Copies of this chain bind each other. A is one copy, B any other.
Amino acid sequence: MPQEKVAIIGSGNWGTAIARLAGINTAKHTDVFDGSRVPMWVFEEEFEGKKLTEVINTEHENKKYLPGIKLAEHIVAVPDLLETVKDATALVFVTPHQFLGKLLDQLEGHVRKDAKAITLIKGVDVRGADIHIFADVIEQRLGIPTSALSGANIANEVAKDTFSETTIGYRSKEDGELWQKLFQTPKFKVQLIDDVAGVSLCGALKNIVAVAAGFCDGLGYGSNTKAAIMRIGLLEMKHFCQEFFNDVKEESFLQESAGVADVITTCLAGRNCRVAKAFVGSGKTFDQLEEEMLNGQRLQGTLTAKEIHEFLHAKGKARSYPLFDKVYQIAWEGVDPEQLTEGL
């Protein structure tokens, strides 16, 4: 069996945490992977007067996005995208979702025909009544089978090797097992399921539920209400995916880390919940709060709520998803958060 050549596209907080795991496993499973060199594409920037790629390649640490965590020495930061993927047979996409389109413009025609990919990008591509998961977008643009990984994975915790689980939705069992071998360690358990869409959509839709959970916290509601919101949200996620995607598996939502466990993590910790909590009673808009609390970074959950609302509205189905609808109305239409649980 030829050795798989891994390339990692992205080097933020999550990308670097994942590169650490890939470094361990490409060195360990040399029967499967080329363990001599794993290029990692880095969007070049300055860090403390040096190029970030230089910092990573001399210190074997991404001091900007994951300080304090060492990477294997054969993880090599590369500023050039096409050089990163030149020989690669196994591409890991782990960039912010807004960069994907431009990256694919560059990559088209420059990736090996026998390669495969996996996306760890959160979110979903919605344009009016059109919705696509990123795995499908990558697959269509590059012509290579693309799996998806999502789970209850706060990057810093995975990086520190506390016990975590994740889920890979695979295109073929063989691909799934390859990606599992690349990421699994004794403290990072990878489950496999034949459901790329379900796993991908969990990672996007959970953020709407987290906004609802944050409203609960802001309203001073107790844990009965919060648990109810999480349960209802999980079922709306499942219902949505079963209605608009083929062959989605119920287990992805109800039994996998990508589903129930990630909803829990995201509703307990995380910025969507935190900013939504601050929204209640503040008299501020989410734009203002993003400026104040996130240095102007956009909140995923409210954005996804809006996109999904527009999609459902175009389909004439907004009222079939009362929790998603209520989050949209509170976040974007000035509806009083106190109305959160009405009609659920």
Q: Footprint of B on A, CB under 8 Å?
A: 152-154, 156-158, 162-165, 187, 189, 221-228, 230-231, 234-235, 254-257, 260-262, 264-265, 268-269, 341, 344
- Check if A261 sits within 8 Å of B228, measured CB to CB: yes
Residue of B nearest to A260 (CB): B231
- Check if B165 sits within 8 Å of A231, measured CB to CB: yes
A264 and B268 CA atoms in complex are apart in Å by 10
Distance (whole angstroms) from the CB of A23 to the closest CB of chain B: 20
A69 and B158 CA atoms in complex are apart in Å by 46
Residues of B within 8 A of A254 (CB): 254-255, 260
- Check if A152 sits within 8 Å of B269, measured CB to CB: no
- Check if A224 sits within 8 Å of B268, measured CB to CB: no
Counted per complex, copies of this chain come to: 2
Residues of B within 8 A of A157 (CB): 222-225
Shortest 7 CB-CB contacts between residues of A and residues of B: A163-B341, A164-B224, A254-B254, A152-B227, A231-B261, A227-B261, A157-B222
A165 and B260 CA atoms in complex are apart in Å by 18
Interface class of chain A by DSSP: helix
Residues of B within 8 A of A163 (CB): 221, 224-225, 228, 341, 344
A76 and B153 CA atoms in complex are apart in Å by 52
Residues of B within 8 A of A228 (CB): 152, 163-165, 189, 257, 261
- Check if A154 sits within 8 Å of B265, measured CB to CB: no
Residue of B nearest to A268 (CB): B223
Residues of B within 8 A of A227 (CB): 152, 257, 261-262, 264-265, 268
Distance (whole angstroms) from the CB of A340 to the closest CB of chain B: 8
